[in-house]
Copies of this chain bind each other. A is one copy, B any other.
């Protein structure tokens, strides 16, 4: 059966496995103090245009990273502003609340938080006589690409950053699928742009060619005690060199910048073909996720031939389904999928 269920169903880029094998019996210090991790940190900071500033930490997964970065940024009385569709708002089992912080949701549009709605929220908040009785806004969370595969333009991110600076709120960008943005022709935001326009972001590894791992980039200094906070949350790997080695490979020879090129190229071509065949896409395809509207008979007939992700019910006869391509998706797999989706009359 074909599988377009998600972008984390394969292992790692072969160069990563090769490097892990080569180094397998080399003794490494624990907890990220090894040379592979050091090299990876240096390469990442350079790729982000952070010369002589910034700190990089390696973690294992997206929810863990969001939890730790926000727990480090937020005072005990603070919450984080996010779009209702933000991953932290819905699909992280209350990780943020579990660490004591409310997610303050705003509607957003196509998965993107808009500078104006954040500004309006903050103005209202600080004019409220009861503000001291409410959760204090302490950070802003966005995703690039968003959970809907859409992208912030440079102007949109700059506008958000300006609002954050006005209210002295750190801006945090969840880059779980960042490689898919970097390979997209629609993308305006390089790693350097991101580093310049936010306070902390993470470079996704798990969904972008690593076995596991995310690289958190604090564009200035990391919050005090961040290392200990990571340990306290059980997120510090004894064999930290396994994360460092992977990012060292991903940031050698610009591998990360191009690892998703084929996935994006295939996704955009597939989207165009689907539209040509008369299918409706619920969101414009910008990265590796395609949100396809199917009627019930269509989805039933596909059910035993290809795995897709049910996204949401649209009306009594139509649903939105997500197709995700990954760095490892082949042209053949896409062709096979397309053959299952005939021209609509």
Shortest beta-carbon distance, A236 to chain B, in Å? 7
Q: Are B61 and A236 in contact (CB under 8 A)?
A: yes
Contact of A8 among B129, B133, B212, B239 (CB under 8 A): B239
Q: Is A273 an interface residue (CB 8 A)?
A: no
Distance of A93 Cα from B101 Cα, bound (Å): 10
Contact of A212 among B79, B207, B239 (CB under 8 A): B239
Q: Is A235 an interface residue (CB 8 A)?
A: yes
Q: Is A297 an interface residue (CB 8 A)?
A: no
Residues of B contacting A9 with CB < 8 Å?
A: 27-30, 239
Q: Are A93 and B134 in contact (CB under 8 A)?
A: yes
Q: Are A94 and B135 in contact (CB under 8 A)?
A: yes
Q: Is A17 an interface residue (CB 8 A)?
A: yes
Residues of B contacting A68 with CB < 8 Å?
A: 234
Q: Is A10 an interface residue (CB 8 A)?
A: yes
Q: Is the interface of A mostly helix, strand, loop or mixed?
A: loop
Q: Are B27 and A17 in contact (CB under 8 A)?
A: no
Distance of A23 Cα from B11 Cα, bound (Å): 8
- Tell which of A11, A93, A134, A328 has the most Cβ of chain B within 10 Å: A93
Distance of A91 Cα from B236 Cα, bound (Å): 12
Q: Is A317 an interface residue (CB 8 A)?
A: no
Q: Is A211 an interface residue (CB 8 A)?
A: yes
- Tell which of A9, A20, A90 has the most Cβ of chain B within 10 Å: A9
Q: Is A166 an interface residue (CB 8 A)?
A: no
Q: Are A235 and B232 in contact (CB under 8 A)?
A: no
Q: Is A229 an interface residue (CB 8 A)?
A: yes
Closest to A68 in B: B234
Interface residues of A in 106-123 (CB under 8 A from B): none
Q: Is A147 an interface residue (CB 8 A)?
A: no
Contact of A25 among B26, B29, B66, B328 (CB under 8 A): B328
Shortest beta-carbon distance, A344 to chain B, in Å? 27
Q: Is A136 an interface residue (CB 8 A)?
A: yes
**A residues touching B (Cβ–Cβ < 8 Å)?**
3, 5-6, 8-12, 14, 17, 20-21, 23-31, 60-68, 71, 75-79, 90-95, 97-103, 129-130, 132-136, 206-207, 211-212, 224-225, 227-229, 231-239, 242, 310, 328
5 additional contacts (CB under 8 A) given A91-B130, A95-B234, A97-B100? A10-B27, A93-B135, A94-B135, A132-B227, A206-B238
15 contacts between A and B (CB under 8 A): A8-B30, A9-B30, A10-B28, A11-B25, A20-B211, A61-B234, A61-B236, A64-B235, A90-B134, A94-B102, A98-B233, A99-B100, A102-B102, A136-B225, A211-B211
